[in-house]
Amino acid sequence: METMFREYYPFLCKAIIRVLPDAHLAEDLAQDVFFDIWNKRENFSINTSLQAYLRRAGINRALNYIRDRKIRWDDEEKIAFQASNLTDASRKIEGEELKQKIEEAINQLPERCRLVFTLSRFEEMSYQEIADQLGISIKTVENQMSKALRILREAFDEELKGE
């Protein structure tokens, strides 16, 4: 177990950082993954490579953390990306109110859409990198991005019509 930890811990931290760009949090979540494996060691078996299993377990742990804690993205530069793409009417909304509405809209996305959108827009990953990271096809990434953008566009179209 110690050998596995030493060999795969840095890899697992990097996989988690792609979803949650907080190194300390990624380290904690990676340790949690290994702790779970240790607790299940007597019945532990996997059907894929250990690396693929750990990547998936780490990503799932990060997604659960996001879902459970409803992480807010406070980075002004990240929020500015969405704000710059809105129509002129939406620019009338005050900065904090707009920031809150964007966060709420992103948090309302289905889990997979939110993850793909976050990796693409906030982590600036290519569709190929996202597909590789999540173990899905590029077409699935494209479909999830289209769905996320459509949902966000509809949410803000309704908001703008209300003004």
Tell whether 80 and 146 lie within a shared domain.
Answer: yes
Given this model, what pLDDT does residue 81 score?
53
Domain count, the chain: 2
Is the pLDDT higher at 146 or at 91?
146
pLDDT band at 86 (very low <50, low <70, confident <90, very high): very low
What does pLDDT average to over the chain?
A: 79
Average pLDDT over residues 37-46: 82
Average pLDDT over residues 127-134: 92
- Which of 14, 34, 69 is the last residue in one of the domains? 69
Average pLDDT over residues 69-86: 51
Tell whether 18 and 81 lie within a shared domain.
Answer: no
- pTM exceeding 0.85: no
Given this model, what pLDDT does residue 138 score?
92
Parent domain of 148: 76-161
Alpha-carbon distance 10 to 15, whole Å? Answer: 9
Tell whether 30 and 84 lie within a shared domain.
Answer: no
Average pLDDT over residues 29-51: 84
CATH of residue 40: 1.10.1740.10
Average pLDDT over residues 139-163: 80
Tell whether 17 and 56 lie within a shared domain.
Answer: yes
Rounded to whole angstroms, the maximal C-alpha distance in the chain is: 60
Tell whether 118 and 53 lie within a shared domain.
Answer: no
Given this model, what pLDDT does residue 89 score?
43
CATH of residue 129: 1.10.10.10
Tell whether 56 and 88 lie within a shared domain.
Answer: no
What pLDDT digit, counting tens, does each position of 134-149 carry? 999 999 999 999 999 8
